[in-house]
Amino acid sequence: MAEIVFKDLTVDNLFDFCGVLNAVGAKDILTVFDKKEITALQKANESTDKIGIVVVMKLVKLIIENIPKAKKEICDFLAGCTKFDDGTKTAANDFIEMKIVPFVKLIKEFSKREDLTDFFGEVAELWGSERKNLKNSSTEDTEVLTDISIEQ
Residues of the chain with pLDDT under 50: 130-152
What is the model's pLDDT at position 77? 94
- The per-residue pLDDT for range 6-22, each reduced to its tens digit, is 999 898 998 998 888 78
- Identify each DSSP E strand in 86-144 by its residue range: 131-134, 142-144
Q: Which range of residues forms the domain containing residue 52? A: 4-144
pLDDT at position 34 is 72
pLDDT of residue 89: 95
C-alpha 38/C-alpha 106 separation (Å) is 27
Q: Is residue 82 part of a domain?
A: yes
Pairing of strands 142-144, 131-134: antiparallel
Confirm whether 71 is domain-assigned: yes
Q: Is 33 exposed, middle or buried (CB count within 10 Å of its CB: 0-12, 13-18, 19+)?
A: buried
Contact 72, 95 (CB under 8 A): no
pLDDT computed for residue 149 by the predictor: 43
Residue 84 falls inside a structural domain: yes
In this prediction the pTM is: 0.59
- Cα 137 to Cα 110, 122, 134, 141, 144: the distances in Å are 31, 18, 10, 10, 15
pLDDT at 120: 76
| 135 part of a folded domain | yes
How many domains would you assign to the chain? 1
